[in-house]
Structure 1
Amino acid sequence: MKLAVVGGGSTYTPELADGFGRSADSLPIGEVVLIDPALGRTELVAGVVRRILARQGHPARVTVTDSVTRGAEGADAVLLQLRVGGQAARHGDETWPVECGCVGQETVGAGGLAKALRTVPVVLDVARQVREVAPDAWLVDFTNPVGIVTRALLDAGHRAIGLCNVAIGVQRRFAQWLGVPPDEVELDHVGLNHLTWVRGARVRGTEAARGRGAGGGDVLPGLLEAYGGELASEIGLPLELMRRHGVLPSYYLRYYWAHDVVVADQREAGSGTRASQVAALEAQLLDTYADPSVDTKPEILSRRGGAYYSEAAVDLLRGLLGAPAADSGTVPRVADVRNNGALPFLPDAAVVEVPCGISPKGAVPRPVAPLPPLLAGLVAGVAAYEELALDAALRGGRHRVYDALLAHPTIGRYDLAGALADRLVAAGREHLAWAR
């Protein structure tokens, strides 16, 4: 089995290698190709990837190239983890919107649109090259904004599925609290990428496992009662809000439901953006990777973000590639896929994030209980924005950028949308061919 990683020079990649190394029996990979234009950095990352795999007794060969066609030739799956413009572009996404009174975030609002505009054309070009040399390969998209990028790939006819680590992080946390194996915790997780809620959780498996914390029913109310204060602090929303509606929102909901509080905090932080923090962490990580004695995933990698990325990727690849111990679609995995009626108030072509059956035939959304108006209204608004954002990414034009911004629930004012559109075009001109 051959896997290619586009953006293989990312400091995330050793996290992925750690997951591969622990899954040698269930995901028999013979070759991993790291594809990245920054060859020097990628060779550094490849060195620690080889050492991690060797320490775990994994036989996979690790190679490096700056050519998508050479690296992806004959691949069974290609993982996309790109960041067009690097942390410098992300820093812009997190600063100029705040100057206009809006949240500065790399996947939400004006910053998220800026990232989509510069990312979609690059990802589509990569996918076109992959299709030339590996027409049957699965494209697994971890590149943000995942919902928009995945829809772009699907609309272009690629075998693509989106992946986010939010759901698996919640699953792992719940399993730890309940004292059961993670795979026995099934989430009612629903929404769009970075706009999701957990509405319920149950424990599958043996009666003994269920008896340890679940009783076979919905365990979410009990978890909110026992750990709600901790969860509320982490996601930045009131515990009473969660209990009243019986949901655990993803932490991205604070950008909508606590927008002005977040903006005030970001203004107080000044230039201390997440991008600047990550840039400093990346420098530390690259120094660590350069040490030939390092053959395990460094502890500081957990501060980089993307927790459980490797577990999510391995779970998904097992099903897509029909690997040994694959669940053949019987155990739902949360993924970003075509709506196809899962949320009836959205177009079938929209990309939603819901539990799916995963098999070599692809991902099929499981039935989803109706969303209440409070949640459905926000999902519908953001889905409309995502459709306009993709149109702007594909066809360009300030007027399309403006329309997408006006549609976003955190913006929604014509004068503000106009100011943001001008700032976005000016800040992103280097990466937007139509704006030069």
Structure 2
Amino acid sequence: MTMKLTIVGGGSTYTPELADGFARLRDSLPLDELWLVDPDTERLALVAGFCQRLLSAAGHPARVVATSDLVAGVSDADTVLVQLRVGGQHARHGDETWPHRIGCIGQETTGPGGLAKALRTVPVVLDIAEQVRRYAKPDAWIVDFTNPVGIVTRALLQAGHRAVGLCNVAIGFQRRFAALLDVPPEQVALGHVGLNHLTWERSVTVGGTDVLPGWLTSRLDELAEEVELAPALLSLLGNVPSYYLRYYYAHDEVLREQIGRPTRAQDVLEVERELLEIYADPAEHTKPEALSRRGGAFYSEAAVELMASLRQDAGDVRVVNLRNAGTLPFLPDDHVIEVPARVFGDRVEALPVAPLPEGIAGLIGAVAGYERLALDAAVHGGRDRVRAALLAHPLVGQWDRAEQATDLLLAANRDHLAWAR
């Protein structure tokens, strides 16, 4: 049985990381055709050529096809992976800077910048998904790696698409914990729970034993340093928050760190220039060291593992973004959460989650309320919807700030929002 995998946003400088994963993990995911779809044909040609050389040098038989034609790219695809960035790094730079003017952190998935990204992204992804529904194989999956993953995945599911969201935070923790334990990663199971970019590790289980309670004493400083939070906070919580919780638990500290420093978008642009020069060299065919500075650690492993599980229909456990369906009883069934789930060929099913402490459940509930308003604004547009979403966000939450943020967001993103022009 042949397999066609399509990557929408295939011109990303990060795509060779995926190609490297396909080469290394070919036994898990037999791949015959890799189609890369991107409107930037010049950049796409460089990335696709490098991916083909990388796969060929590794002895992988897959054929790489580059196209700017979305319909051709998704036609008869078995799986479509979406990893696009509407507005590119320029828009991201805006997300990371204009919120500073109202005393908010600048970040592309969290806070006001995260709403801006959702508004730009959701309509584009929904248009792509309609083409997948029309032209891909009837049972094709959409795997969304496009941020904000939780909101985008809910948009897809709400529109009736067969979709699952993927983030690399959980696999990053799994790999780091496995290294501490000196065991293979597949032996480490995480009690990972929350919303995308708002998650906590409540357990780290190896061989039936949860080692996290002991670590919160013996390795407390090490764990706290990993996520750049106070050791006393981890002790109080009794778990390990993801790095993204810094934006909530240490908002003002992060804001001070951000002011006057280069943005992540600026850093990535420098790395991308270096990578594109490497990709343009026909003698280069191995994954460059610079790719490790591009971000998205272990993304290729997470993507290959998930797509292999969808294809093999074995019920493997993967951390994904999926419909809540009662897993967290304080959220609506149709909200999207990020938890371990069993992955089958035709469905994903969340594993049970033990009741959450009030503080964590309360924060999840508040951010989930914002996410629902954000999706409403992304789908239907309108200044009032944007303002309502900003007002509901725990990191905004004041009327004057929400008003100013609305003006700044619309001014920075008018070119990407048809209804706001």
TM-score bucket of the superposed structures, by smaller chain: over 0.9
1:234 is aligned to 2:226:
yes
Contact 2:109 2:147 in 1 (8 A): yes
Contact 1:321 1:360 in 2 (8 A): yes
CA distance in 2, matches of 1:263, 1:182: 34
CA distance in 2, matches of 1:291, 1:229: 44
Q: Which residue of 2 aligns with 1:173?
A: 176
Amino acid of the residue matched to residue 295 of structure 2?
G
Q: CA RMSD in A?
A: 1.0
Contact 2:28 2:305 in 1 (8 A): no
Q: Which residue of 2 aligns with 1:253?
A: 245
- 1:380 Cα offset (Å): 0.2
- 1:231 Cα offset (Å): 3.1
CA distance in 2, matches of 1:178, 1:237: 22
Contact 1:190 1:197 in 2 (8 A): yes
Amino acid of the residue matched to residue 258 of structure 2?
Q
CA distance in 1, matches of 2:333, 2:77: 30
Q: Match of 1:46, SS?
A: helix
- 1:228 Cα offset (Å): 3.1
- 1:97 Cα offset (Å): 0.2
Aligned sequence identity (%): 62
CA distance in 2, matches of 1:112, 1:345: 23
| Alignment equivalent of 2:334, drawn from 326, 336, 349 | 349
Q: Match of 2:113, SS?
A: helix
CA distance in 1, matches of 2:304, 2:337: 21
Residues 45-85 of structure 1, C-alpha deviations (whole Å, 9 max, x = no match): 01111121112211000000001110111000000000000
Superposed, which structure 2 residues align to 1:282-297 within 5 Å?
Answer: 282-297=272-287
Q: Match of 1:200, SS?
A: strand
Contact 2:80 2:142 in 1 (8 A): yes
Contact 1:195 1:379 in 2 (8 A): yes
- Any gaps of 5 or more consecutive residues in structure 2? none
Q: Which residue of 2 aligns with 1:78?
A: 80
Superposed, which structure 2 residues align to 1:44-193 within 5 Å?
Answer: 44-134=46-136, 135-193=138-196
CA distance in 2, matches of 1:394, 1:278: 29
Amino acid of the residue matched to residue 109 of structure 1?
G
- 1:342 Cα offset (Å): 0.7
Contact 1:76 1:321 in 2 (8 A): no
CA distance in 1, matches of 2:282, 2:216: 45
| Alignment equivalent of 1:310, drawn from 300, 319, 325 | 300
Amino acid of the residue matched to residue 310 of structure 1?
S
- 1:226 Cα offset (Å): 4.2
Residues 267-320 of structure 1, C-alpha deviations (whole Å, 9 max, x = no match): 142xx1111001111111111111222222111111111010010001101111
- 1:246 Cα offset (Å): 1.3
Contact 1:151 1:350 in 2 (8 A): yes
Amino acid of the residue matched to residue 157 of structure 2?
L
Q: Match of 1:399, SS?
A: helix
CA distance in 2, matches of 1:36, 1:224: 45
1:9 is aligned to 2:11:
yes
Residues 371-430 of structure 1, C-alpha deviations (whole Å, 9 max, x = no match): 100100000000000000000001111100000000000111111000000110111000
How many residues in Structure 1 have an aligned counterpart in Structure 2? 418
Amino acid of the residue matched to residue 202 of structure 1?
T
